[in-house]
Amino acid sequence: MTEKKAPKKGLSLKWLEVFHLLTQRGSVSAVARETGLSVSTVSHHLRSLEDHLGTALIEHSRRPMSLTPAGLVFKKHIEEALALIHKAELAVAHGDLSQARHLRIGLIEDFDSEIAPELVVRLAAEMPNCDFIHYTRSSHDILKLLRNHDIDVGVVSRPNEDILDLQEYPLLCDPFVIAVPNDAPYTAEELLENRTELPFLRYLKSQFINRQIEAQLRRLKYTLPSRFETESNQSMMAMVAEAKGWAITTPLCYLRAQRFHQQTKLLPLPARASFSRHLSLFTSPECPDSVAEPMSQAFRHLISERAIEPLLQTSPWLEGMFELQQEV
């Protein structure tokens, strides 16, 4: 009498998720740190997947890690499968966020002080069964994460080019303005024409906001010496507060530096020099409207309550400029 073979165990979703993450992060230790699993558990999941398939997916003897030909083929197919699974998980909510199980969000730093903390608390209350991953990144990095299917929802400063592969929900028109010391007697024209003793303070050249500002200055043929550049919005506002310079910024960026508001003020740019950035919520293709639309509405409510209304009280001339964007 021949012995019956035990039925082959089915594929584990955890094996697939670990393998997919490994192809993105490049090492078992990096996957272990991100997932909270031990290195040995990550290795066990990978070996179990390879044993099930009967082929090696990773070149285990090579450093840095590389995929075998079979691993490359398998990676392509499971990316599509995992995207569909994740879409199904999100779609289960059907507009009821309390049923959502996983949500990955990327936000630019501009929301860190006023909007993001309250949003996260609100989502945690409305989505009690949900596992959250929250990233703070640049607009460029958030769009990359969305396109790589590493996050579901991202809020960014909209680039100039059209974004056709992601779903967009417009949020805010954030006009560029001038920040000066509170007692500065200068007009916007005098500052832009470099006819004052205050130096111009710049955002770091690698930042998207710097490129927006510099493009406008070139268009208007304003030439301002470069003395101080910073990646930190807080450092820039501290310099302005101490009368060490002036800056072109936006109301939302200015709002983040509340500790310096007593020592600083905002001026409008001249009409011919006015320009704005536009912030939007973007979602990956697998994120359904039933999840994205409630999040967009939550953002719009918080932006109005925590950003627009307080700044209009101190700078009423911003009305009609610093405002929610029309929904499409």
| pTM for the structure as a whole | 0.70
Mark residue 145 as left, alpha or beta (left: phi above 0; alpha: psi -120 to 50; beta: remaining). Answer: alpha
Higher pLDDT, 8 or 254: 254
**Reduced to 3 DSSP states, what percent helix, strand and coil does the chain have, rounded to the nearest 5?**
45, 20, 35
Tell me the CA end-to-end span of the chain in Å, nearest whole number. Answer: 71
pLDDT in tens, 130-140: 777 888 888 98
Higher pLDDT, 83 or 240: 240
- As a dihedral over the C-alpha atoms of residue 135, residue 140, residue 143, residue 148, rounded to 10 degrees, the angle is -80
Alpha carbon distance 101, 105 (integer Å): 13
Alpha carbon distance 251, 256 (integer Å): 9
Confidence check: pLDDT of 96 > 80: no
Confidence check: pLDDT of 63 > 90: no
**Could you tell me which of 31, 32, 33 has the C-alpha nearest to residue 23?**
31
Helices (H) and strands (E) in the chain, counts: 12, 11
- Contact status, residue 148 vs residue 104, Cβ threshold 8 Å: no
Give the pLDDT mean for 42-63: 84
pLDDT in tens, 67-76: 888 888 888 7
Helix axis angle for 39-53 and 28-35, nearest 10°, is: 110
**Could you tell me which of 61, 156, 56 has the C-alpha nearest to residue 109?**
156
Confidence check: pLDDT of 114 > 80: no
pLDDT in tens, 51-61: 888 888 888 77
With bands split at pLDDT 50, 70 and 90, how would you rate the model's confidence at 99?
low
DSSP conformation letters of 231-247: S-HHHHHHHHHTTS-EE
Alpha carbon distance 238, 216 (integer Å): 24
Which segments within the chain are labelled E, that is strand?
102-107, 131-136, 153-157, 167-175, 177-181, 200-203, 228-230, 246-249, 264-268, 276-283, 323-324
Q: What pLDDT does residue 7 have?
A: 44
- For residue 288, cis peptide bond before it (omega within 30 degrees of 0): no
Confidence check: pLDDT of 5 > 90: no
pLDDT in tens, 153-202: 999 999 888 888 899 999 999 999 999 999 999 999 999 999 999 999 99
Highest mean pLDDT among 25-39, 143-157, 309-323: 309-323
Confidence check: pLDDT of 92 > 70: no
With bands split at pLDDT 50, 70 and 90, how would you rate the model's confidence at 9?
low
Higher pLDDT, 31 or 247: 247
Give the pLDDT mean for 315-323: 95
Confidence check: pLDDT of 6 > 50: no
Q: What pLDDT does residue 103 have?
A: 80
Percent with pLDDT over 90 in the chain: 43
Highest mean pLDDT among 122-126, 190-194, 227-231, 290-294: 190-194
Q: What pLDDT does residue 86 have?
A: 61
Domains and CATH numbers, the chain: 13-88 (1.10.10.10), 94-173+279-324 (3.40.190.10), 177-274 (3.40.190.10)
Q: Check residue 210 and report its DSSP letter.
A: H
Element (H, E) at 146: helix 139-147
What is the overall mean pLDDT for the chain? 85
Q: What pLDDT does residue 87 have?
A: 59
Confidence check: pLDDT of 83 > 60: yes
